[in-house]
Amino acid sequence: MADSPSTTPHSAIKSPFFPLLISRKARPFGYVFTFVFVAFTVFLVLNLSGYTPPWFKSIFHTSSLYSSSIFSHFFSNSSLQKSNSQTHLPFPPPSNTQFHFNDSDSLKQKNLSVSFQSSSKEFGKKQIEAKGGDNNVEVDLRKNGTKDGVFERPKVELVSNRSESNGTSSDTLPEKQRKQSWLERMNGCNVFEGKWVRDDSYPLYLPGSCPHIDEPFNCFLNGRADNGYEKYRWQPKDCNIPRLNGRDMLKLLRGKRLVFVGDSLNRNMWESLVCILRNSVEDQSRVFEASGRIEFRTEGSYSFIFKDYNCSVEFFRSPFLVQEWEMPDTNGSKKETLRLDVIERSSDRYKGADVLIFNTGHWWTHDKTSRGKDYYQEGNHTYGEMNVKEAFRKALTTWARWVDTNIDPKKTLVFFRGYSPNHFRGGRWNSGGQCDNETKPIKNEAYLATYPRKMRIFESVMRGMKIPIYYLNITRMTDFRKDAHPSIYRKQNLTEEERISPLRYQDCSHWCLPGVPDTWNELIYAQLLIKHNQQQHQGLQKIPVV
């Protein structure tokens, strides 16, 4: 029978754990050991807190590099470890990427004025000033009982706090929080989590005022009577994004090239930015397409020159980002293939640009790519059949390899814009799908589509890249906007067949302009401002790019 605790003799209970303290001669050693242990503990706490008094440093004079390496090894989440691997928005961006302007082109921080719109249509103003070359920022908030103009140019305008999830306006926040810089609030904010709110100060340019919008996107000229879709802005849950100031963005772009590469959805975004920037230029005759073209739907590339700023905003058509190809067929003719292992043909023409904005996605849903039969090619081999998701991964891997090999991150800022959802109901784009009569955004998140598998594929490819990529993950935020497609307002002159059955021919993929792509460009603008201010606060002589 096992012994019970009550029957255990007291003499049998001994302490084998601290034999050094049993002997009196050994007690001094114990005191020394205790003192050293306590001192080391204090040293450890002070190091992790970032403060060590001078007297303590004199006792424990050790190499800071050595101690940092030890702590970072054991405390992987401590502030001693700095990661440069962040490759997507939300903010902040990767810190190992630096972009520079000429000194004369830099925006002076002391001249930046930031206005927040309140629910009463009044504006508080934040004057951001750089003091004496240090990095302190003074924020002065004061009321201005007047309504800012929709197109006021000198200011960097930020959307209001009024629509944040807690419903608290900026006027009721504690003084310390009210004075906090929007740049600081951007730190760690997921700008893609939020909602669309009505704002009558939008759009950023008047409908019908920009001659550079292709007919399929120009819903105003094509007869769309309702304009509510133009008057929404995106309000992130935990921060604010700046209203795009065209003049300030052009200053950031002075002497630079900003290039869009992708499909017609990127052309949609490119035309949006051209119109926003053009609206801020005093002499609009000094804004023109380099080759003189006025329509932009054919293959090739286009470049808008902003003469007064010596900059260009360009578009290169490449719906797959890899090369469309032709192979000899068995009957002597040629068949179209897609070279998954070769980057698209124009890449050498834009690899030295200052800002690159890529996209791909919609063409991977077409019949030929979806079926994947005798279409995908690597080397001289054409696959009899390949799953479209695998082909998409291979194409993106080719693109990623090209970026890592050819892009200089000290010169070029690279964005990838995520998938823009469509809103066809009752059919697909080529089978009678419709979206007409939609006049308001989706309110209930339960009605949003499932996050696209192709974007999961892109994210997995992006994680393996060496060059930092700024991921504009606009998929979910854009999915709310079923109201903003051209639908039946995609052209002015309908064919006879289209007049007989207008509802059969609708565009529920692209976006009316002004409209949703303007917000995508506001996210680009926010990132450029953040990069500019980050490096200005670091005391660099030259400012980040765009």
Neighbours of 456 (CB within 10 A): 11
Q: Is residue 100 flagged as an active site residue?
A: no
Active site (annotated) includes residue 510: yes
For the question of residue 199 being annotated catalytic, the response is: no
Which residue's structure tokens are 């032709």?
326
Q: Which residues contact 265 (CB under 8 A, 6 or more apart)?
A: 359, 361, 362, 417, 420, 509, 510
Among candidate residues 88, 212, 423, 510, the one labeled active-site is 510
Of 507, 509, 518, 532, the active-site residue reads 507
207: preceding bond cis by omega (within 30 degrees): no
Among the options 106, 115, 163, 264, which is catalytic? 264
Q: CA quadruple 346, 299, 263, 472: dihedral positive or negative?
A: positive
DSSP letter (8 states) at residue 535:
H
Q: How far apart are CA 375 and CA 366, in angstroms?
A: 12
Closest Cα partner for 245 from 542, 525, 528, 540?
Answer: 525
Helix axes 388-406, 453-463, angle to 10 degrees: 30
Structure tokens at 135: 């990095």
Beta bridge partners of 261: 316, 358
Phi-psi group of 234: left, alpha or beta (phi > 0 → left; psi -120 to 50 → alpha; rest → beta): beta
- The type of residue at 429 is W
Sign of CA dihedral 201, 206, 207, 212: negative
90: preceding bond cis by omega (within 30 degrees):
yes
Going by C-alpha positions, the residue among 367, 258, 373 that lies closest to residue 312 is 258
Compute CA 381 distance to the chain's CA centroid, rounded to the nearest angstrom. 37
Return the active site residues: 264, 507, 510
